[in-house]
Structure 1
Amino acid sequence: MTTLIPVLGDQLSHGLASLRSADKAESVVLLMEVAEETTYVRHHKAKIVLILSAMRHFAEELRADGWTVDYIRLDDPENSGSFTGEVARAVERHRPSAIRIVEAGEYRVAQAIATWSDRFGIPVDVLGDDRFICPLPDFFAWAAARRELVMESFYRQQRRRTGLLMEEDGTPVGGQWNFDKENRAPPPKARPLRRPLSFAPDAITKDVIALVEQRFGQHFGTLDRFELPVTRDQARALLADFVTERLPRFGTYQDAMLEGEDYLYHSRLSTSLNCGLLTALEVCEATEAAFRAGTVPLNAAEGFIRQMIGWREYVRGMYWLEMPGLDRANFFGNRRPLPDFYWTGETAMACCADAVRNTRDNAYAHHIQRLMVLGNFAMLAGIDPHEVADWYLVVYADAYEWVEHPNVLGMSQFADGGRLGTKPYAGSGAYINRMSNYCKGCRYDVKQRVGEGACPFNALYWDFLDRNEQKLRGNRRMWQPYATWDRFGEDTKAEIRAQAQQFLDHLEPAAPGWARATGQEEKRG
């Protein structure tokens, strides 16, 4: 009696529930590289390399551990191009009595899996993904009991659930739950440490790089210095390097930006977490151990753990709570097309240019570059939030729909109207100037609202508030900016509106087909 165990490209964990509960002698593990997953959006080349290389390494590790592995390569001439098609072929080959799979991380894949039992005429056992700390039923119960789904209350529940940074009497270490006020320092004057630990491509990864360059050469991004971890051993080495070298200063400078400094004190662990090479709990345990040992301050340990068990798990729960409606959300009714500079980096705005360069070169940008530079600009400019969400899904190696949709459509673009965030994350050039050194070398003057050399973020910020006044003025967290707007004279308001409109009129839109090309057509990457 054979059990077929499909393992998806973001489930590369040896402790995966479907593997943990199986008998190796009576199971076949199915790993599938399929065209549908490489092109449903036109992913950054480094993202495709990461996932395919990690899958191939994982298959080798499973075989070495005694598993029977059926591995379907992307260049297999018989490849059907879809998960469902490849499971159908595997059912024909192996005649399994059942299929066992861990729940998918993305809605569209879950919808496909739901058809398999009827399609193949055998039981399909879909297991919960217990690599996450909060099971989805628990999150839904938490959400159902509240009118406002504030992440902070969920985070505190997660701390109690895990015992991380908790005293024996049930109180938080340090006497408070959140040390975020200590984590907003501007960039340090001294340059950060060396680049994070990197990993030279081995033979498997080099083969994948050649395949991706040949098949997806027109996709966005470069593979000139691909250095991401593609095995669990490499991911654990990167975790150890982060905890030792960067975590001690991560908290203080986690929101800071420096031109040309791609990583600062950030971990670069999200790619390994999101494809399964690491679990959030082991990352948090390593973080807490460093704090207990006295090598990492509390504000850094708490801030990082909050991102892991608070925000990451919260957005996953919100994704499944809000789908499929989140996929259509557009609270502001924004329709402007994505600007071309999101692909080319050709803009005089130094902050945007550097963030796009980092994204192109590394398939990476840290959360403030994503939120308060590129995301903030898109919302202020009235860009269609679904074009923005597609762009984020394309360009970042850690991007999967379950994490990008809530972060982009909810937090960054406020397209959900406040289900996830209590106010829009909108800011003028002053915020970027405070948290970075971008403005010092920029052609635009961050202190000017209007005029030829004025920072575009300034007029766009006030214009955003003005045109969305009916939807935002009643928000209790927006009273202060509207009070400031009310103090402007009508002539000043008119100048701001004209300045914003003039800038928007000269934004060049991206060419069609950049995110979701139809059929096999290779359009602009």
Structure 2
Amino acid sequence: MRRKFLSHIDSVIKPVDFDQHKTAVFILHDQLNLDVWPGWIREEKPLLIFIESAEKGNSLPYHKKKLIYLLSSMRHFALGCSEEGFPVYYHSTQKHYDDGLKEILSENEQLELIFMTPSEWNSRERLRNVKSEFNGLMKEIPNNFFLADAEEYKEKVSDGWVMEYFYREMRRKTGYLMKGNQPEGGEWNFDEENRQKLPKNHPVPEIAETEVDEITQEVINMVEAWFPDHFGKIENFTYAVTRRQALYRLNEFIEERLDEFGPYEDAMAQGKYDLFHSHLSLYLNNGLVLPVEVCDKAEEAYQKGNARLNSVEGFIRQIIGWREYVRVYYEAMMPEIREANHFNFTNKLPEMYWSGKTKMNCMSECLKPVIKDGYSHHIPRLMVLSNFSNLTETDPRELNRWFHLAYVDAYEWVVLPNVLGMSTFADGGVLASKPYVSSGNYINKMSDYCKHCEYKISKKTGGDACPFNYLYWNFIDKQRDTFTQNGRANFMVNMFDKRDEVDKKAIRESSDKFIEALDRA
């Protein structure tokens, strides 16, 4: 009998007789690449187990397109494994996936179940608890979806070892863009060349859209039925959901957008949300493409003269530098880091993060693609959405939760370091050397948002002034202890203190009025 919302799976994958299997491999939704698993799995073709969990899906009001992407990708992967000759057991439960595993192990005491260390803390704890309960029936193997050995760097990172030095070591280890022991072009990074505003009418290539097949459509129907009140829009799902489709997206980026990625990687533009970014993070983070494949393609484009050095270096740094670094930070700082709140902010998240409704054009523009597609590139995340959260004295843990549920590419191991470490300074400076806050001038410099806004970027205080302007200086004033302890940022306090008292009073009053009137979720 075919299960509701699983008819395609049930029509293709044969029922499993567990008595015929002594070994099974449990594969999580973010481990979808057998090239990373031990070679014997492809040779021996043990039983592969996949579990869809409604309880896991409801643990946060995850973006509907995030759920569609993860579930459709897992179903396509399971079907592909079945086509390769693997016996596959595809289970769907209203409970959590560890409950499903307990049922399987309780009924099949002859079965040895192998799992790979999950990248996320909660999943790791759940599986290890099952392992403890069924002593001898489960075996854990290391997670091989990352390039760096977290154990090698955890202590250094927790002591404040900065990403730049980690990145240089990863360059030397991998050999990417290296000439012997020296970096290609004589510099480790080319950030100075990568901070350009997008020129008016500059052409931006469109990213290909993937058509919804019957497998994905069945998932869409299920998400509508099971998670109707979750965050985000469900219409027009266009993400790749198979490895072949994801590799096509990788090649498309390398050929059409990588060359101009560098100069405009920090740019923002009205109505243009992707610009020259790769949009590959969601495929990297569940295994449809691998870090080595991405970096190899990028370096090859440089060697062939198809992409400039500053673009390729900036892109590879995001993969082997930042992505690997935040994963090590996560391993070093968990679980205590979850409660980090250096400034002791207690305000709830502004309501606009859920609705997208605000007179602030920059916030509106940065929230639109998140609500619609669960995506925005790193500058809207860091310098607009996170910046505004900090300036309005929002609890960083509230923002972290929102990022986790709102973005399709979000997993705790990558979101938590980026939000609590980098963008909100909630960890007190372990990851970032200073709080990443700015006035409206930065947004005006890197985008055309301000010219479309009801607020005036030229005004510093008052009802029609850009809120980022006075909120920024108010933050500097209130958090002066943090800034004065930092050699890179203490001059900002000095600048505030040199203002006349009338100006200071106007900044404080404008900020208090705005923060007090802000609708909170």
TM-score interval, smaller chain: over 0.9
> Does the aligned pair in 1 maintain the 2:61–2:229 contact within 8 Å?
no
Q: Which residue of 2 aligns with 1:30?
A: 49
State the alpha-carbon separation in 1 of the partners of residues 422 and 414 from structure 2.
Answer: 11
State the alpha-carbon separation in 2 of the partners of residues 287 and 25 from structure 1.
Answer: 34
Is the aligned partner of 1:311 residue 2:322? yes
Q: Secondary structure at the match of 1:448?
A: coil
> Does the aligned pair in 2 maintain the 1:45–1:221 contact within 8 Å?
yes
C-alpha deviation, 1:135, in angstroms: 1.4
* Partner AA of 2:116 in structure 1: V
Q: Which residue of 2 aligns with 1:342?
A: 353
State the alpha-carbon separation in 2 of the partners of residues 461 and 342 from structure 1.
Answer: 19
Q: 1:280 aligns with which of 279, 291, 307?
A: 291
State the alpha-carbon separation in 1 of the partners of residues 512 and 44 from structure 2.
Answer: 67
> Does the aligned pair in 2 maintain the 1:372–1:426 contact within 8 Å?
yes
Q: Which residue of 1 aligns with 2:73?
A: 54
Is the aligned partner of 1:376 residue 2:387? yes
Sequence identity percentage: 39
> Does the aligned pair in 1 maintain the 2:117–2:141 contact within 8 Å?
yes
Q: Which residue of 1 aligns with 2:154?
A: 140
Gaps (5+ residues) in structure 1? 74-78, 511-525
Q: 2:33 aligns with which of 1, 9, 13?
A: 13
> Does the aligned pair in 2 maintain the 1:16–1:102 contact within 8 Å?
no
Q: Which residue of 2 aligns with 1:519?
A: none
Q: Which residue of 2 aligns with 1:220?
A: 231
State the alpha-carbon separation in 2 of the partners of residues 221 and 108 from structure 1.
Answer: 24
Q: Which residue of 1 aligns with 2:5?
A: none
1:359-398 alignment, distance < 5 Å: 359-398=370-409
> Does the aligned pair in 2 maintain the 1:24–1:67 contact within 8 Å?
no
* Partner AA of 2:114 in structure 1: R
Q: Which residue of 2 aligns with 1:295?
A: 306
Q: Which residue of 2 aligns with 1:517?
A: none
Q: Which runs of 4+ in 1 moved over 4 A?
A: 23-26
Q: Secondary structure at the match of 1:260?
A: coil
Gaps (5+ residues) in structure 2? 1-20
Q: Which residue of 1 aligns with 2:140?
A: 126
> Does the aligned pair in 2 maintain the 1:2–1:95 contact within 8 Å?
no
Q: 1:153 aligns with which of 140, 145, 165?
A: 165
C-alpha deviation, 1:86, in angstroms: 1.0
State the alpha-carbon separation in 2 of the partners of residues 329 and 170 from structure 1.
Answer: 38
Deviations along 1:277-327, whole A, 9 cap, x unmatched? 011111000000000000000000000000000000000010110001110
Q: 1:72 aligns with which of 91, 104, 107?
A: 91
State the alpha-carbon separation in 1 of the partners of residues 191 and 108 from structure 2.
Answer: 53
- CA RMSD in angstroms comes to 1.4
State the alpha-carbon separation in 2 of the partners of residues 173 and 264 from structure 1.
Answer: 26
Q: Secondary structure at the match of 1:63?
A: helix
> Does the aligned pair in 1 maintain the 2:434–2:489 contact within 8 Å?
yes
Q: Which residue of 2 aligns with 1:523?
A: none
> Does the aligned pair in 1 maintain the 2:45–2:86 contact within 8 Å?
no
Query: Against the structure 1 CA distance between its residues 16 and 80, is the aligned structure 2 distance closer, same or farther, given a 3 Å change threshold?
Result: farther
> Does the aligned pair in 1 maintain the 2:24–2:113 contact within 8 Å?
yes
Q: Secondary structure at the match of 2:178?
A: coil
Is the aligned partner of 1:437 residue 2:456? no
State the alpha-carbon separation in 2 of the partners of residues 102 and 141 from structure 1.
Answer: 23
Query: Against the structure 1 CA distance between its residues 312 and 23, is the aligned structure 2 distance closer, same or farther, given a 3 Å change threshold?
Result: closer
1:86-485 alignment, distance < 5 Å: 86-140=100-154, 142-143=156-157, 147-167=159-179, 169-485=180-496
Deviations along 1:25-83, whole A, 9 cap, x unmatched? 5722111110222111110000000000000000011111111111113xxxxx25112
Q: Which residue of 2 aligns with 1:514?
A: none
Question: So what's the TM-score if we normalise by structure 2?
Answer: 0.94
State the alpha-carbon separation in 1 of the partners of residues 296 and 95 from structure 2.
Answer: 39
> Does the aligned pair in 2 maintain the 1:462–1:485 contact within 8 Å?
yes
State the alpha-carbon separation in 2 of the partners of residues 200 and 328 from structure 1.
Answer: 41
C-alpha deviation, 1:17, in angstroms: 2.1
> Does the aligned pair in 2 maintain the 1:200–1:227 contact within 8 Å?
yes
* Partner AA of 2:305 in structure 1: G
> Does the aligned pair in 1 maintain the 2:55–2:94 contact within 8 Å?
no
C-alpha deviation, 1:23, in angstroms: 6.4
State the alpha-carbon separation in 1 of the partners of residues 245 and 318 from structure 2.
Answer: 22
Q: Which residue of 1 aligns with 2:15?
A: none
> Does the aligned pair in 2 maintain the 1:17–1:128 contact within 8 Å?
no
> Does the aligned pair in 2 maintain the 1:129–1:135 contact within 8 Å?
no
Q: Which residue of 2 aligns with 1:516?
A: none
C-alpha deviation, 1:94, in angstroms: 4.1
Query: Against the structure 1 CA distance between its residues 224 and 23, is the aligned structure 2 distance closer, same or farther, given a 3 Å change threshold?
Result: closer
State the alpha-carbon separation in 1 of the partners of residues 145 and 438 from structure 2.
Answer: 36
State the alpha-carbon separation in 2 of the partners of residues 148 and 387 from structure 1.
Answer: 25
> Does the aligned pair in 1 maintain the 2:457–2:465 contact within 8 Å?
yes
C-alpha deviation, 1:98, in angstroms: 2.2
State the alpha-carbon separation in 2 of the partners of residues 108 and 195 from structure 1.
Answer: 37
* Partner AA of 2:338 in structure 1: D
Q: Which residue of 1 aligns with 2:17?
A: none
* Partner AA of 1:419 in structure 2: V
Deviations along 1:141-166, whole A, 9 cap, x unmatched? 5447xx43200000000001100001
Query: Against the structure 1 CA distance between its residues 203 and 378, is the aligned structure 2 distance closer, same or farther, given a 3 Å change threshold?
Result: same
* Range 467-476 or range 262-271, more displaced: 467-476
Q: Which residue of 1 aligns with 2:499?
A: 488
Deviations along 1:412-456, whole A, 9 cap, x unmatched? 111000111011100000000000000001001112111221000
Deviations along 1:385-412, whole A, 9 cap, x unmatched? 1110011011100000000000011111
* Partner AA of 2:369 in structure 1: N
C-alpha deviation, 1:193, in angstroms: 2.4
State the alpha-carbon separation in 2 of the partners of residues 364 and 114 from structure 1.
Answer: 32
* Partner AA of 2:133 in structure 1: R
Q: Secondary structure at the match of 1:55?
A: helix
* Range 108-117 or range 253-262, more displaced: 108-117
C-alpha deviation, 1:124, in angstroms: 2.8
* Range 362-371 or range 478-487, more displaced: 478-487
* Range 119-128 or range 304-313, more displaced: 119-128
Q: Secondary structure at the match of 1:108?
A: helix
Question: So what's the TM-score if we normalise by structure 1?
Answer: 0.93
State the alpha-carbon separation in 1 of the partners of residues 189 and 372 from structure 2.
Answer: 34
> Does the aligned pair in 1 maintain the 2:340–2:420 contact within 8 Å?
yes
State the alpha-carbon separation in 2 of the partners of residues 24 and 284 from structure 1.
Answer: 28
Q: 1:2 aligns with which of 15, 22, 26?
A: 22
Q: Secondary structure at the match of 2:444?
A: helix
